[in-house]
Amino acid sequence: MREAPVQKRVIALAGNPNVGKSTLFNALTGGRQHTGNWSGKTVGIARGDTRRGDIRYEFVDLPGTYALDGGGEDERLAAEYICSGEADCTVVICDGSCLQRSLILALQILRLTEKVVVCVNLMDEARKNGIVLDGAALSQALGVPVVLTAAGKKEGLDALLAEVSRAELHGKQDWQNPIEDAQRIAEICTRQGENLRHRRQEKIDRILVSPCFGIPLMLLLLLFIIWITIWGANYPSALLESLANRGYTLLKGLLSGAPGWLSGALVDGMYATAARVICVMLPPMAIFFPLFTVLEDIGYLPRIAFLLDGGMRRCGGCGKQALTLCMGLGCNAVGVMGCRILESPGQRTRAILTNAMVPCNGRFPTLILLGSLFFSGGLAPFSVALCILAGVFGAMAASGALHLAKRREEEPTFVLELPPFRKPKFLQILVRSLVDRTLHISLRALKVAAPAGLLLWILANTPLLSRCAGLLDPLGRAMGMNGVILLAFVFSFPANELFIPVTLLTLTGAGSIQSVSDVGAGLLLNAGWTWQTAVCTMAFCLFHWPCATTLMTVYSETRSKKETAAAFFLPTAVGILLCVMLNLILSAI
């Protein structure tokens, strides 16, 4: 059969945040997307395609914006793209359950470009809210085709594609007062029936953000997520580890003919270290981020921002920065990426530089091990909780100090949308959080872990490792630790998960990370560690250089070597000062 010539249509998707734009994008493209930069911008634009008949549609997912003239980076990008004329047609996605607000953007876009299709999404939600919408009347009032969809239920997608390929040039329209016009048009086209759901939502909201229950509820929820992540990760971690061990034996067998140094360097060095990082890093992230994305999907995250804005404002931030700190608990690299939600450039930089002070999943094992070894009974969980709090406060204080140090510019007005609660879409959550966050980050970590493993193996099999530890010893002692610990911190640069294995490796003098996995941690007690050592190590674990993955992310987010260097030195300086002070105080006791 001969292939028919394929026509290509580029379609831009524009719309407010929270109108189901990504859901529609995924429903149209089947989740196949690739993120590419557009004309040198750092903010990525997702693209994806689908083929219907002999037309190939390429969808361009523009950042969600409320308007095009608000002055934000996202808004400028969206407006520039629409005006560039690269897209054959712009689809403006509106929210059926609150048409009035989303029409404002639609009218602004109609002023900019000549070929528009308006897609009123979330019609299922609108129906539940008792809203009746007259699509024909809306189409007549706007002078462009209108399609009603419910992307979550895959309703109206074919009609949308049909309208897109049929759409004709309508010429630019001159809407002088988009806000008033949107109100007038929405009033003509919608009829509001009785709305019971809205009132129920408000009741839920009143409890979730109430002055007495709001913050305790939120803390409980976050603690629960952390607990379930740590507890739940044990099983898949053990499973992965046994798989990795089998791979180790297999590789050793394959390379049995090769010279000892080669199989040592490749298998004991690179493979064992990389496998170790993946085994410990992947499961907690694969649990934490889907849970966090559920909170995002149901609309709880803006409520966290609402609750914490007061505290964050005192250190020159805003409620949304609290969300990036929460993400940092999962992985600092994801936290740094999350800083995109901050509109003010100054706030965003401060948030990026201080995110690594929040302890991530990779540092929990260290904190928990030290806490449980050196503090008996009820003190152990308390010490870990204290560490998490100290990390969060450290990040807030540092970002406050940076705010004070820099000349103040006018910060954009803080406006936070509180979207209605929605049912989460579980499949989409799993895909999005696994692919976007977990896999992406693990691959970055692997890139550093493998070469670091090689270096570690070389050092461990020569007297160099203990000599390095000896060299670092004076500095380590001044900070209340010792050379071995400091060296382990240096070698956990690829991933914080490596701290404990490298410490054990140095203490036992074993040749490979593979052989220390079953050495008891009681060894630390025999190595002359005291509770003072544990306190200083825990403090330095919170405040030291971010891991390589996080630094790479800082660079890819800021595109600035200066800021990446600052992200390295700022927490390190804080950690060194803090540990020296702690050492002076604790040794006096």
Residues 6+ apart with CB under 8 A from 197: 128, 129, 130
Rounded CA-CA distance 34/45 in Å is 9
Contact present, 558 and 349 (Cβ < 8 Å): yes
Rounded CA-CA distance 226/136 in Å is 50
Which DSSP category does 151 fall into?
A: G
Q: Which is nearer to other proteins, 133 or 567 (CB)?
A: 133
Q: Which is nearer to other proteins, 203 or 562 (CB)?
A: 203
Rounded CA-CA distance 70/23 in Å is 25
Please give the structure tokens belonging to residue 392.
């969060």
C-beta of 462: minimal distance to other proteins in Å?
58
C-beta of 71: minimal distance to other proteins in Å?
6
Residues 6+ apart with CB under 8 A from 228: 287, 291
C-beta of 95: minimal distance to other proteins in Å?
8
Q: Which is nearer to other proteins, 419 or 451 (CB)?
A: 419
Q: Which is nearer to other proteins, 105 or 547 (CB)?
A: 105
Residues 6+ apart with CB under 8 A from 158: none
Q: Which is nearer to other proteins, 6 or 416 (CB)?
A: 416
Angle between helices 364-374 and 531-542 (to 10 degrees): 160
Which helix (H) or strand (E) element contains residue 58? strand 55-61
How many of the other CB atoms lie within 10 Å of CB of 329?
A: 24
Binding footprint of other proteins on the chain (CB under 8 A): 65-67, 69-71, 75, 97-101, 104, 179-180, 182-183, 202, 205-206, 209-212, 214-215, 302, 306-307, 309-310, 313, 319, 410, 412-420
C-beta of 290: minimal distance to other proteins in Å?
27
Rounded CA-CA distance 267/262 in Å is 8
Q: Which is nearer to other proteins, 54 or 180 (CB)?
A: 180
Contact present, 165 and 55 (Cβ < 8 Å): yes
Q: Which is nearer to other proteins, 83 or 478 (CB)?
A: 83
Q: Which is nearer to other proteins, 253 or 310 (CB)?
A: 310
Rounded CA-CA distance 114/151 in Å is 25
Q: Which is nearer to other proteins, 396 or 574 (CB)?
A: 396
Rounded CA-CA distance 364/387 in Å is 10
C-beta of 173: minimal distance to other proteins in Å?
19
Looking at the DSSP assignment, which residues form a beta bridge with residue 55?
Answer: 7, 52
Phi, psi of 371 (to 5 degrees): -60, -45
C-beta of 411: minimal distance to other proteins in Å?
9
Q: Which is nearer to other proteins, 102 or 482 (CB)?
A: 102
- Separation in Å, CA 455 to CA 124, 484, 489, 491: 57, 16, 15, 9
Rounded CA-CA distance 501/4 in Å is 59
C-beta of 66: minimal distance to other proteins in Å?
4
C-beta of 101: minimal distance to other proteins in Å?
5
C-beta of 18: minimal distance to other proteins in Å?
9
Q: Which is nearer to other proteins, 223 or 416 (CB)?
A: 416
C-beta of 53: minimal distance to other proteins in Å?
38
Burial 317-326 (b: 16+ CB within 10 A, else e): bbbbbbbbbb
C-beta of 183: minimal distance to other proteins in Å?
7
Contact present, 148 and 157 (Cβ < 8 Å): no
